[in-house]
């Protein structure tokens, strides 16, 4: 079976922590399940940690720790190269750079407007689009 190569934006990770019944949590579970391969970089791991720790989100320390440990243990680390300006928000460039280094099939985000629709062979899609392609039967149950 050919692996599905994924990069997941921080907003999907945060939403999955805040809404356990939401479709973003389903995206993460699928990203952690074979044949999917979830790719991260050191910059992405640092952003996940920083955003999950924001006090205004109210995510308990234990839950943050569980999420970060799961991500660190189950993802594949790449060392991306810096790319020229490719996103509307310069802070989002780390995800395109990671997708480029991982040769990702999909970059899943809640902020599609910040990204080009494609980067080389990587398609930038929402969690709903991802689930519609991978597991459409699960969308009927998702808020």
Sheet with 76-77, edge to edge strand ranges: 76-77, 36-40, 4-8, 106-108, 122-125, 118-119
CB 48 within 8 A of CB 64: no
Summarised one tens digit per residue, pLDDT across range 98-142 is 999 999 999 999 876 766 675 678 899 999 999 888 776 666 554
CA distances from residue 85 to 52, 97, 119, 121, 130 in whole angstroms, order as listed: 26, 11, 12, 18, 25
Domains for the chain: give ranges and CATH numbers.
4-141 (3.40.50.1010)
- Looking at residue 34, its pLDDT comes to 86
pLDDT reading at 17 higher than 90: yes
Number of other CB atoms surrounding residue 65 within 10 Å: 12
Summarised one tens digit per residue, pLDDT across range 45-100 is 999 999 999 999 999 999 999 989 999 999 999 998 876 566 666 778 899 899 99
């Amino acid at each position: 079976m050919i692996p599905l190569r994924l990069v997941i934006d921080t907003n999907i990770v945060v939403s999955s922590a805040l809404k356990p019944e939401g479709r973003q949590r389903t995206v993460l579970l699928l990203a952690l399940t074979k044949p999917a391969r979830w790719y991260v970089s050191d910059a992405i791991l640092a952003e996940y940690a920083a955003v999950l720790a924001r006090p205004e989100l109210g995510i308990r320390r234990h839950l943050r720790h569980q999420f970060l440990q799961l991500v660190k243990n189950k993802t594949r680390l790449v060392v991306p190269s810096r790319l020229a300006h490719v996103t509307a928000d310069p802070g989002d460039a780390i995800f395109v750079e990671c997708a480029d280094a991982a040769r990702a099939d999909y970059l899943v985000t809640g902020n599609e407007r910040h990204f080009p629709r494609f980067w080389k062979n990587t398609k930038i899609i929402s969690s709903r689009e991802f689930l519609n392609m991978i597991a459409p039967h699960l969308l009927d149950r998702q808020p």
